[in-house]
Amino acid sequence: LPPGHYGLPLIGETLHLISAYKSPNPEPFIDTRVARFGPVFTTHVFGEPTIFSADPDVNRFVLQNEGRLFECSYPGSISTLLGKHSLLLMKGSLHKRMHSLTMSFANSAIIRDHLLKDIDRLIRFYLDSWTSRVFLMEEAKKITFALTMKQLMGFDPCEWTESLRKEYLLVIEGFFSIPLPFFSTTYNRAIKARTKVAEALSKVVRERRRESERGERKNDMLGALLDEEAGGGRRFSDEEIVDFLVALLVAGYETTSTTMTLAVKFLTETPLALAQLKVVNETLRVANIIGGIFRRTTSDINIRGYTIPKGWKVFASFRAVHMNDEHFKDARSFNPWRWQSENGAACPPSTFTPFGGGPRLCPGYELARVTLSVFLHHIVTKFSWEPAEVDRLVFFPTTRTQKRYPINVQRRNPAA
Ligand code: HEM
């Protein structure tokens, strides 16, 4: 096994990790261990011994061998709340087929020809209602939810989508709770909200199924799912489609909205970058919305002269690579200009992995970039702003700012 430290009985090094990630500077947790044990080390977090990789080649190996030597591994709370038919939990040939269906739904031609118009329209719709002080994180979440509802099921924002969003927020809260209904009210509430979300979406699926039987076809993800063969000549059931949609809502929501907010935060703190707006890659690198991925080994595996036994957890840390001076010069500063130079833009694919890679590469990676760029374009051209309060970035339980990033906005040209 790679060298390392198991920490205290049962809780291991979990509390060290959490207290580091609850601060704006979680790097020392990784730095001290890498300095002592090397970039691949053993620790014990969230109830299990875990191999932690801060090495880009090992991370690439883990990502590429998904489904062969490793399988993805989510905590119990997330698996239950997502539903067993979600893309994130699918395996084998069904995963492969559904992953490529999702990728094809959000490829660049589809974005350009179909999705971009609504992305632009809905972002402008929300920004038009801004007056003085806004909580940017809240606004970014409303926008992202509205976009996803449109892309998945064709709905424009209305009371129904807003009430669904409220239930949906309770589901997300449950992701980071202990999955025991008797002990955790958050988890209990999340399970109930998940049932309500599923009921609401099932109704939509049934209605759309009837429409599709009458020959009416809509050009959204739900339309594609209703047409898709589920194997053995059958179509997907309502439950399967609902699980699939819930997972897509989850996957694109926190991630895109947090990156939007942090892009604006970093821009605010780096005014020169505003002029050039080369910030998307750099925000993805520094913010590390998905700091890395958990996998479980499916057989004994030899990496770097160590043997990781079958059934062990492995964490491939993207953050550790993104924040390492060996891979990015002065890695811990926000420097969007690094992407302008030949070298920055051509960094090896295994070192810059905000969207993962291999068979589970994020199917929303192009969509997220386009959404971010359109959002930044509109906020920069329509508003000037300043932070309303000092707000700190934290990385646990998710990447966020503590006060939802309040800003005072001022319209640049009120007539526009
Ligand atoms: C800034 C925004 C985003 C970031 C940083 C991000 C990051 C990631 C990462 C790192 C993974 C790989 C997980 C793994 O290997 O286990 C992933 C998977 C996934 N992402 Fe994204 N994502 C973003 C936006 C989106 C959007 C907009 C969608 C909506 C289409 C989406 C849908 C998914 C899905 C469904 C998966 C699971 C793929 C699978 O397990 O096969 N993501 N994302």
In terms of Cα–Cα distance, which of 182, 181, 200, 202 is closest to 190?
A: 181
Give the confidence band of 346 by pLDDT, cuts at 50, 70, 90.
low
262 lines ligand 1 (CB under 6 A): no
Q: Which residues of 205-235 are buried (b: 16+ CB within 10 A; e: fewer)?
A: beebeeebeeeeeeebbbbbbbeeebeeeee
Ligand 1, atom 11, lies closest to the CA of 362
Please give the structure tokens belonging to residue 175: 């992701």
| pLDDT for 23 beyond 80 | yes
d(CA 355, ligand 1 centre) in Å: 6
Ligand 1 mutation pick, 254, 355, 362, max ligand atoms within 8 A of CB: 362
Pocket of ligand 1 contains residue 251 by CB under 6 Å: yes
Ligand 1 site, residue 252, Cβ cutoff 6 A: yes
What per-residue confidence (pLDDT) applies to 32?
96
> What's the CA-to-centroid distance between 292 and ligand 1, angstroms?
12
What integer pLDDT is reported at residue 342 of this predicted model?
55
Average pLDDT of 14-36? Answer: 93
**Residues 68, 315, 94, 98, CA torsion sign:** negative
Q: What is the pTM of this model?
A: 0.87
* Residue 284 exposed, middle or buried by CB count within 10 Å (0-12, 13-18, 19+): buried
Q: Determine if ligand 1 sits within 6 Å of the CB of residue 62.
A: no
pLDDT in tens, 160-193: 999 999 999 999 888 877 767 677 788 899 999 9
362 is in an annotated binding site: yes
CATH class of the 14-411 domain in this structure: mainly alpha
User: Which residue has the least CA distance to atom 24 on ligand 1?
Assistant: 252
CA distances from 34 to 31, 156, 315 (A): 5, 48, 14
Nearest residue to 128 (alpha-carbon basis) of 405, 413, 404: 413
- Please report the pLDDT score of residue 75 as a whole number: 78
Ligand 1: centre distance to CA 362 (Å): 4
Lowest mean pLDDT among 116-125, 225-234, 238-247, 287-296: 225-234
Cα 210 from Cα 275, distance rounded (Å): 51
294: enclosing H helix or E strand: strand 292-297
Whether 249 is in the pocket of ligand 1, judged by its Cβ within 6 Å, is no
| Ligand 1 centre distance from Cα of residue 250 (Å) | 9
| Shortest-distance atom of ligand 1 to CA 289 | 5
Task: Give the model confidence (pLDDT) of 348-374 as tens digits.
Answer: 778 999 999 999 999 999 899 889 989
Cβ atoms of 171 and 179 closer than 8 Å: no
The domain locations on the chain are: 14-411
pLDDT at 320 over 80: yes
Question: Which of 122, 255, 375, 399 gets mutated to test ligand 1 (max ligand atoms within 8 A of its CB)?
Answer: 255
Cα(385) to centroid of ligand 1, in Å?
A: 30
Angle between helices 27-37 and 14-21 (to 10 degrees): 130
Structure tokens at 172: 């997300």
Partners of residue 383 on adjacent β-strands: 411
Residue 60 alpha carbon to ligand 1 centre in Å: 16
Q: Determine whether the shortest distance from the Cβ of 98 to ligand 1 is under 6 A.
A: no
